[in-house]
Amino acid sequence: MDTDTAIHAESLFIGGEWVPPSSSARIDVRSASTEQVIGSVPEAQEADVDAAVTAARRAFADPDGWSQWEPSRRADALDRLADELEARGDEIATIVSAQNGMPISIALQLEAGFPVAVVRYYAALARTATFEESHPHLIGGTTTVRREPIGVVGAIAPWNFPQTLAAFKHAPALAAGCTIVIKPSPETVLDSIPFVEAVMAAGIPAGVINIVPGGREIGAYLVSHPGVDKVAFTGSTAAGRSIAETCGRLLRPVTLELGGKSAAIVLDDADLDLSKIGEDLFGATFLNNGQTCFLGTRVLAPRSRYDEVVGVFEAFANSLSVGDALDPATQIGPMASERQRDRVEGYIAKGSGDGARLVAGGGRPADLDRGWFVQPTVFADVDNNQAIAQEEIFGPVLSVIPYGDEAEAVRIANDTDFGLGGTVWTSDEERGYGVAKQIRTGTIGINRYMVDPGSPFGGVKDSGIGRELGPDALRNFQSVKSIYR
């Protein structure tokens, strides 16, 4: 994608149509690989958010509208949306990859494919879930329990998996009968355009989905908007705290998917043959240039095999091909923004300054003179108390931390403010399961890590509150009413 094919939108998608924005403010988006401007959209202002929330409210309150439809009718619409998204998969993946540096091979699988799977999952669930049931009232009569849509949802997504993480919110919200205002991250607003085309082609009724591109101020305005009934957020822990404070004051339900600093626990019986485990190890440690919340960026290695483990990760990092995100051969693309690269480089300097031993990477690739690239980087001899082991770097930087016995590995894995992901590497799956059960985290994998649309995803401690995905996530968007009769 180059400036000749740049994407420009002049309008905002509100109330089922493209409408003029309230101001001339715009968001320019740069390619992470080339630093060139590749598109621009209007930046939503408070008046635009007001219009979007009003449109969502009107659609929600329509007595013959979306919220009142039979769930199976909503399911049909969601299946059409999934089909339309699938038809635009290549386009969506290409735009995401150009914006945030996600290697195109990954974007084609995840940003093109995962939202489709999530939307289809909630369409199927809407057909089978119970929205109303009656049982005998314990003191006589009958109680009917209704799971009604909670109302207008304010959804805020980050830039690392913009379509996937938006789908984690809009798919269950729509299945439940809610309407939604989505605020994408300024770094990744262009993929909203094919998304809107899919929404329109699928015949999703006007006002059910509205999009307000903007930054943190407009996000905060949406969160506190009096017309919003429920907030769903994915992003940093700092922003999550601020949103939680607002929602606490307003008594507004909120789900928060925040940062992570998960452990990849290598047990002493692990098979570390990269020709066998390389792909799974990549998905659990370096996926999306390290800009993935659940990655095991603290590699816990047994002292009995410490040098071997460090050698494997050194070889692994050095084997990864770094390049333009749109090149199908690229495994590690650039950081999503200059700010993000500065942040990652700051942590690399800090790691060296704190005495960790740099064994791979640590700088910018010599052959790439534009784009916000950082080499895949591995530190050895890291103490779990160091900043690079405790703080989320959100880049391709791993810390290999030694441990003595399994109990110490569990203790170090749990010695973190976060609790989102994690993996255990072992040739004995039952042993791995035994370790996985002891980790305080929302999700964990054994010899691989792959988010399952049909199972809850989310974190504990500073990694968030609540869960997305799986059948229970429908309840995030429902209000339960008991009718005694």
Strand partners, 42: 26
Please state the closest distance from residue 252 (CB atom) to ligand NAD, in A. 13
Report d(CA 482, CA 180) in Å as an integer: 25
Please state the closest distance from residue 238 (CB atom) to ligand NAD, in A. 7
**Which of 419, 399, 406, 431 lies closest to 467, judged by CA?**
419
DSSP secondary structure code for residue 404 in this structure:
S
Cβ contact 325:373 at 8 Å: no
Report d(CA 239, CA 42) in Å as an integer: 23
Report d(CA 457, CA 436) in Å as an integer: 15
| Catalytic option among 43, 257, 314, 392 | 257
Please state the closest distance from residue 293 (CB atom) to ligand NAD, in A. 3
Q: Any contact of residue 32 with ligand NAD (CB under 6 A)?
A: no
Show the CA angle centred on residue 414, arms to residues 410 and 417, nearest 5°. 170
Please state the closest distance from residue 135 (CB atom) to ligand NAD, in A. 36
Beta strand segments in 198-253, E? 209-211, 230-234
Give me the residue whose beta carbon is nearest to ligand NAD. Answer: 219
Q: Work out which of 464, 469, 473, 477 binds ligand NAD, going by CB under 6 A.
A: 464
Kindly identify the residues of this chain, within the stretch 56-115, that bind ligand NAD according to CB under 6 A: none
Kindly identify the residues of this chain, within the stretch 240-269, that bind ligand NAD according to CB under 6 A: 242-243, 257-260
Q: Any contact of residue 160 with ligand NAD (CB under 6 A)?
A: yes
Please state the closest distance from residue 185 (CB atom) to ligand NAD, in A. 4
Q: Any contact of residue 185 with ligand NAD (CB under 6 A)?
A: yes
Kindly identify the residues of this chain, within the stretch 398-427, that bind ligand NAD according to CB under 6 A: 420
Q: Work out which of 21, 89, 101, 158 binds ligand NAD, going by CB under 6 A.
A: 158
**Which of 337, 326, 422, 328 lies closest to 374, judged by CA?**
337
Q: Work out which of 43, 48, 392, 462 binds ligand NAD, going by CB under 6 A.
A: 392
- Does the active-site annotation cover 468? no
- The helix/strand count (H/E) of the chain reads as 15, 21
- Per the document, the length of the chain is 485
Q: In what order do the strands lie in the sheet with 445-446?
A: 357-360, 377-380, 397-403, 296-302, 262-266, 423-425, 445-446
Stretch that binds ligand NAD, among 157-165, 303-311, 360-368, 403-411 (CB under 6 A): 157-165
DSSP secondary structure code for residue 458 in this structure:
-
Widest distance between CA atoms in the chain:
78
Q: Work out which of 58, 216, 350, 431 binds ligand NAD, going by CB under 6 A.
A: 216
Q: Any contact of residue 234 with ligand NAD (CB under 6 A)?
A: yes
Q: Any contact of residue 220 with ligand NAD (CB under 6 A)?
A: yes
Q: Which sequence positions are flagged as catalytic?
A: 257
Residues that bind ligand NAD (CB under 6 A): 156-160, 165, 183, 185, 215-216, 219-220, 223, 234-236, 239, 242-243, 257-260, 293, 392, 394, 420, 459, 463-464
